[in-house]
């Protein structure tokens, strides 16, 4: 979805706050994310299961948690695991986790290349041995790092986010690639458990937080029980990993809770949205996009109109009361104002928005 920002600038917006429906690609997410109060529990040092409908904020919360952890500069090491297949083979999770971990560790050193140069030769060998499990091979990743100008290019190539706010790829990154090519790895592949130990030993991590997302597609084609069967191998290892400060964070479809029996130590978070909370989703975006000049669509509405966000939230059907639907609805509303060549939201625009909700 992309609207005419030139038209939106007439409202005083520096950018289109309703453009990006994929929260993982939203550069402003951390500035205006609104989540139910219970969702703060996802940051705790314990296993967590987050339940929400598709479009209900799971990936936004996962991105928020990742950014929270990455600010620790590796002390609380975040790892995102989005499965590429839904096979129930018991060992597949751990093979895929090893690959995801290799990509995450590569992004860590790409984010802090100077840290790598001070490591002992043994530690460098251990890091290289871990990195050999990167999808498409370590040389593929090193070539991306050598050729890139922006860190966003490396993130895209590796399919993993950076661990710092570094924007440009420079000479230190070329030297990092050169050193990784030169150092010898250990002869045998590293088990996943040994890779975790490398995070503790070399990066000096105190805890590891594994965020498992992307299962909405699973539930669209299979039953809730199928999701449960898929995560059982991970549930079996929760207690053992928790004793080693490794915490699993599941982001699951809302219709799974009734079918699942979670271990006792799991914290359960449900993302539920009412009209007032959905209104906050929009007000925060308006505030940030306007540079703090105003915090409600009321400011760009006809004088007789009040509580625009609440009006729009109430227009949504009960099963549509989700952040994604609310953001989409507000973007379309403002685009209709631009298309009508008017400078403010009118009752006619709101009536059109309500009619569209019933189509």
What domains are there in the chain, each with its CATH number? 5-23+273-357 (no CATH), 37-75+206-272 (3.40.50), 86-204 (no CATH)
What does pTM read for this prediction? 0.85
Average pLDDT of the segment spanning 181-198: 90
- 219 or 279, which is more confident: 279
Question: What is the pLDDT at residue 23?
Answer: 81
Q: Which pLDDT tens digit goes with each residue over 314-340? A: 999 998 999 999 999 999 999 999 888
User: Is the pLDDT assigned to residue 30 strictly greater than 90?
Assistant: no
Question: What is the pLDDT at residue 3?
Answer: 42
User: Is the pLDDT assigned to residue 86 strictly greater than 70?
Assistant: no
User: Is the pLDDT assigned to residue 4 strictly greater than 50?
Assistant: no
Average pLDDT of the segment spanning 185-208: 92
What Å distances lie between residue 320 and 285, 317, 358, CA to CA?
A: 19, 5, 11
Question: What is the pLDDT at residue 5?
Answer: 44
Question: What is the pLDDT at residue 246?
Answer: 97
Which of the four pLDDT bands, split at 50, 70 and 90, describes residue 90? low
Could you give phi then psi for residue 122, rounded to 5 degrees?
A: -65, -45
Which of the four pLDDT bands, split at 50, 70 and 90, describes residue 107? very high
Q: Which pLDDT tens digit goes with each residue over 213-269? A: 987 766 555 666 677 778 888 888 999 999 999 999 999 887 665 556 677 778 888
Pairing relationship of beta strands 76-81 and 48-52 according to DSSP bridges: unpaired
């Amino acid at each position: 979805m992309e609207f005419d920002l030139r038209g939106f600038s007439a409202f005083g917006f520096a950018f289109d706050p309703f453009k990006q429906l994929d929260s993982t690609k939203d550069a402003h997410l951390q500035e205006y994310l609104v989540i139910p109060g219970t969702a703060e529990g996802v940051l705790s040092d314990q296993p967590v299961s987050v339940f929400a409908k598709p479009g209900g904020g799971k990936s936004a919360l996962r991105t928020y948690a990742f950014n929270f952890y990455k600010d620790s500069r590796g002390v609380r090491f975040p790892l995102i695991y989005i499965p590429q297949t839904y096979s129930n083979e018991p060992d597949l999770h751990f093979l895929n986790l090893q690959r995801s971990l290799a990509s995450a560790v590569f992004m860590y050193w790409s984010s802090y290349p100077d840290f790598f140069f001070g490591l002992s030769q043994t530690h460098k060998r251990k890091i290289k041995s871990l990195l050999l499990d990167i999808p498409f091979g370590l040389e593929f990743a090193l070539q991306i790092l050598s050729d890139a100008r922006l860190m966003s290019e490396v993130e895209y190539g590796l399919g993993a986010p950076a661990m710092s706010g570094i924007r440009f790829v420079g000479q230190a990154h070329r030297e990092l690639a050169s050193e990784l090519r030169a150092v010898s790895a250990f002869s045998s592949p590293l088990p996943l458990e040994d890779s975790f130990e490398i995070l503790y030993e070399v990066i000096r991590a105190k805890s590891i937080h594994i965020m498992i997302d992307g299962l909405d597609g699973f539930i669209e084609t299979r039953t809730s029980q199928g999701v449960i069967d898929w995560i059982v191998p991970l549930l079996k290892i929760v207690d053992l990993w928790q004793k080693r400060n490794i915490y699993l964070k599941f982001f699951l479809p809302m219709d799974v809770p009734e079918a699942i029996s979670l271990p006792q130590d799991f914290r359960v978070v449900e993302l539920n949205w009412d009209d007032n909370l959905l209104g906050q989703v929009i007000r925060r975006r308006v505030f940030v996009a306007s540079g703090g000049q105003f915090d409600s669509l009321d400011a760009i509405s006809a004088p007789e109109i009040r509580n625009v966000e609440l009006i729009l939230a109430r227009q949504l059907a009960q099963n549509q009361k989700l952040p994604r639907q609310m953001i989409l609805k507000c973007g379309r509303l403002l685009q209709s104002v631009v298309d009508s060549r008017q400078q403010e939201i009118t009752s006619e625009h709101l009536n059109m928005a309500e009619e569209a909700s019933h189509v």
